[in-house]
Amino acid sequence: MYVGVDYYPEHWPETRWALDAQMMQKAGFNVVRLGEFAWTNFEPAEGCYDFAWLDRALEVLARHGIRAILGTPTAVVPAWLAHRYPEVMVVDKTGQRRTWGVRKDTCYSSGVLRRFSQAITTALATHYASHPGVIGWQTDNEFGGSNDCRCPACQAAFQDFLRQRYGTLDELNRAWGTHFWGQIFRAWEEVPVIVDTNGQNPSACLDWQRFYSDQNVRYQGEQVQILRRLCPRHFITHNLMGLAPDVNYFNLARDLDFVSWDNYPVWGRPEVRYDAALAADLMRGAKHKNFWIMEQTAGPCGWGSFNRNVRPGELRAVAYQQLAHGADGQIWFRWRTCTAGREQYWHGLLQHDGKPNRRYLEAAQVAREYHLLAPLLEGLSVRAEVAMIYDYDSLWVTRFQGSFEGNDYREQLKRYHRALFRAGIGLDIISPADDFSRYKLVIAPELHLMPDALARRLEAYIEQGGTLLADVRTAVKDGTNLVHDRTLPGLLSSALGIAIPEYDVLADKAEIPLTQGFAGHKATLYTDWIKPTTAETVAGYDAWWLTDYAAITRNRLAKGIAWYVGTIGNTPAFYDGLIARVLADAGITAPLTPPPGVEAVVRSGQGRELLFLINHTEDCQTVPVPTGRKELLTGTTTATTLTLDRHGVAVVQLR
């Protein structure tokens, strides 16, 4: 199993390298990521390459049994490149070309940039294709974020993208509904870039985001093509950013062997690391296979100011959480805190002083344990009976058109996910294009966009015995972000057995008590005014103007069951109750119910089943466990309960 650190030999005197490698080896580290910001070191002048320094670094590392993942170094262009070819820099919304000096600020429509990107990738790949110390590649760094550009090249590329997508102007006009506000295009050149997602055509805004995402995928693809050709024995990955919203990760992952991601879950006060679990499930879902952690939090993080330091045991708990969710490799960011530049305060395992310290020792403990567990983990992953759909299109459109105040697509996913977490149930986060039939339960939060095919597939899933949970604003729009002319929930009306003639928001923190099966709970933010057709009413609203409507419904359809939740519950307890009922419908049970703040995840395969328990709290926790199984970290055998220290972890071999 690969365990290691992100390492920047170019930041330190060459005389230090041997000590670094020795300390890494002593800690049990066997891999480093290198070079992803070193373009100017590799190509100090246009077309002049220098790999000697990295060769020397690899040699030192190899001497201590450490292998390397190389980054294509395109996240920062050299100063000489930006100075000589200013057109590589992004033009922002105010029409100004970005000043070189930060990062991730180059235009992916720029032919100049792409030519240089391909050239440096080719040179690196050629040089390291058969280097024994190199095992794989990371493309660029953290695609997405800040380099959306409005230069003329981007406008032309956007028009091209649309021409490919829609073929004719008539079809574009239809797909965008440009009859509204008299915005019909008579020529492709008239199509503008998007600078105002609060004012411009929403269908255009969605396509702009798709275009941006695709530009990233294409840019990576051009590097991948070169690497595949020149380095056939190397793996190719990229460090994604969990729930980051800018790039469609399902698409970005397609060209990769596996995805990696950068996990920084230590902020503010200590808390249950729900989001890191959700992000890990999405990362695993991106290719339906295990992933790596390419940057694992190692200390206080931040640019202008840094955040909380990990407390004793916390660095280990963070690592085990990812291991449980499917991390097959794990790399701490970074080895040693940099003394220069914008990330001076983004702390590595070592402080600036480079001395072994508490965090280094804790990481070394993790590495030692991982190497012991490795043989048992081989081939194991999370095998879930529950899937939750993650739809980038719905995410994107709700960011600029939330439809009701306070609506947040990812927050909505989290409401269900956290209830499953508390119930001790694992889940996969999947694309709407994935196969639903593998799952007993599919949760489909806020599927605003509902292309016909997706509706048909969801309906078929239910009919064939699946349990579906859908909710507010489902199927409001079609695939091009137009509203359709069907009564809501549109194409899912018969599957859900309801009609929604009207809906409403609950502004200014207004709440409405729920009735029947959810008496004691309250509706917040939004209410669908539901008329069941074939569905039963599970909860209604206690408000004078809503007495005739349902809030939550449940519909039997052929062999399956379809839930519809027409509001947002006011507390986690609402979601715990809801999930309990839906799980019961789907016939799903948890291996155990962990106490609050303890996470229980099962990895299985190869006839084995490992139960990971992670205590996210600062109190000791007692967990009910199957008796007579081996706890692998202590080598003890379980009684009926198992006690976890604060931030403690355990790995119980169930089978």
Residue 56 binds a second copy (CB under 8 A): no
Residue 410 binds a second copy (CB under 8 A): no
Evaluated on CA atoms 430, 435, 441, 443, the torsion sign reads positive
**From 117, 407, 431, 615, residue interacting with a second copy (rule: CB under 8 A):** 407
- Kindly tell me which of 235 and 306 has the beta carbon lying closer to a second copy: 306
- Kindly tell me which of 7 and 370 has the beta carbon lying closer to a second copy: 7
- Hey, what are 331's tokens? 């790399």
The total of other beta-carbon atoms located within 10 Å of residue 107's CB is: 25
* Region of 120-128, 437-445, 496-504, 566-574 interacting with a second copy (CB under 8 A): 496-504
First to last CA, the chain: 21
Ranges within 412-441 binding a second copy (CB under 8 A): none
Residue 99 binds a second copy (CB under 8 A): yes
| 565-577 core/surface letters (b: 16 or more CB in 10 A; e: else) | bbbbbbeeebbeb
**From 56, 229, 368, 486, residue interacting with a second copy (rule: CB under 8 A):** 486
**From 232, 268, 375, 596, residue interacting with a second copy (rule: CB under 8 A):** 268
Evaluated on CA atoms 19, 20, 21, 26, the torsion sign reads positive
Evaluated on CA atoms 382, 386, 387, 388, the torsion sign reads negative
Q: Are 39 and 64 in contact (CB under 8 A)?
A: no
Alpha carbon distance 43, 40 (integer Å): 5
* Region of 37-45, 388-396, 447-455, 555-563 interacting with a second copy (CB under 8 A): 37-45
Alpha carbon distance 186, 191 (integer Å): 9
- Looking at the DSSP bridge assignments, the partners of residue 605 are 608
| Minimal distance, residue 139 CB to a second copy, in Å | 16
Give Dmax (Cα) for the chain.
Answer: 78
Residue 163 binds a second copy (CB under 8 A): no
| Minimal distance, residue 336 CB to a second copy, in Å | 9
One-letter amino acid for residue 203 of the chain: S
Residue 452 binds a second copy (CB under 8 A): no
Ranges within 302-321 binding a second copy (CB under 8 A): 303-309, 311-312
Binding mask 283-302 for a second copy (x = CB under 8 A): -----------------x--
Q: Are 270 and 262 in contact (CB under 8 A)?
A: no
In terms of Cα–Cα distance, which of 361, 357, 363, 383 is closest to 319?
Answer: 363
- Kindly tell me which of 38 and 444 has the beta carbon lying closer to a second copy: 38
Residue 466 binds a second copy (CB under 8 A): no
Ranges within 626-655 binding a second copy (CB under 8 A): 646
| Minimal distance, residue 338 CB to a second copy, in Å | 6
C-alpha 595, offset from chain centre? 27
* Region of 233-241, 326-334, 353-361, 426-434 interacting with a second copy (CB under 8 A): 353-361
Alpha carbon distance 477, 276 (integer Å): 30
Cβ-proximal residues to 617 (8 Å cutoff; 6+ apart), any chain: 270, 272, 596, 597, 598, 646
**From 70, 76, 420, 427, residue interacting with a second copy (rule: CB under 8 A):** 76
In terms of Cα–Cα distance, which of 30, 52, 32 is closest to 43?
Answer: 52
Q: Which residue has the tokens 């701490």?
A: 332
Residue 394 binds a second copy (CB under 8 A): no
Alpha carbon distance 173, 422 (integer Å): 47
**From 463, 504, 542, 645, residue interacting with a second copy (rule: CB under 8 A):** 504
Q: Are 400 and 33 in contact (CB under 8 A)?
A: no
Residue 91 binds a second copy (CB under 8 A): no
- Hey, what are 260's tokens? 């990696």
Residue 103 binds a second copy (CB under 8 A): yes
| Minimal distance, residue 147 CB to a second copy, in Å | 13
- Hey, what are 287's tokens? 């290719």
* Region of 157-165, 196-204, 605-613, 631-639 interacting with a second copy (CB under 8 A): 196-204
In terms of Cα–Cα distance, which of 616, 588, 619 is closest to 600?
Answer: 616
| Minimal distance, residue 507 CB to a second copy, in Å | 5
Residue 49 binds a second copy (CB under 8 A): no
Residue 400 binds a second copy (CB under 8 A): yes
Residue 143 binds a second copy (CB under 8 A): no
- Kindly tell me which of 63 and 484 has the beta carbon lying closer to a second copy: 484
* Region of 131-139, 286-294, 339-347, 623-631 interacting with a second copy (CB under 8 A): 339-347
| Minimal distance, residue 510 CB to a second copy, in Å | 6
| Minimal distance, residue 433 CB to a second copy, in Å | 25
Residue 196 binds a second copy (CB under 8 A): yes
**From 507, 519, 573, 580, residue interacting with a second copy (rule: CB under 8 A):** 507
Cβ-proximal residues to 225 (8 Å cutoff; 6+ apart), any chain: none
Residues known to be catalytic: 142, 295
* Region of 223-231, 273-281, 342-350, 460-468 interacting with a second copy (CB under 8 A): 342-350
One-letter amino acid for residue 36 of the chain: E
CA angle (378, 435, 494) in 5-degree steps: 150
The values of phi and psi at residue 339, to 5°, are -90, -5
Alpha carbon distance 472, 567 (integer Å): 6
Ranges within 168-187 binding a second copy (CB under 8 A): 176-187
The values of phi and psi at residue 591, to 5°, are -65, -35
One-letter amino acid for residue 478 of the chain: D
The four Cα atoms 400, 172, 183, 145 give a dihedral, to 10 degrees, of 30
* Region of 50-58, 157-165, 397-405, 550-558 interacting with a second copy (CB under 8 A): 397-405
| Minimal distance, residue 82 CB to a second copy, in Å | 8
- Kindly tell me which of 313 and 326 has the beta carbon lying closer to a second copy: 313
| Minimal distance, residue 273 CB to a second copy, in Å | 16
**From 27, 66, 70, 193, residue interacting with a second copy (rule: CB under 8 A):** 193
- Kindly tell me which of 359 and 603 has the beta carbon lying closer to a second copy: 359
Alpha carbon distance 415, 402 (integer Å): 17
Alpha carbon distance 65, 371 (integer Å): 14
One-letter amino acid for residue 532 of the chain: P
- Kindly tell me which of 230 and 488 has the beta carbon lying closer to a second copy: 488
| 342-356 core/surface letters (b: 16 or more CB in 10 A; e: else) | ebebbbbbbeeebee
| Minimal distance, residue 340 CB to a second copy, in Å | 2
Size of the site for a second copy (CB under 8 A): 109
- Kindly tell me which of 460 and 505 has the beta carbon lying closer to a second copy: 505
Ranges within 579-618 binding a second copy (CB under 8 A): 618
- Kindly tell me which of 160 and 196 has the beta carbon lying closer to a second copy: 196
Ranges within 8-27 binding a second copy (CB under 8 A): 10-11
* Region of 97-105, 109-117, 457-465, 574-582 interacting with a second copy (CB under 8 A): 97-105
Residue 533 binds a second copy (CB under 8 A): no
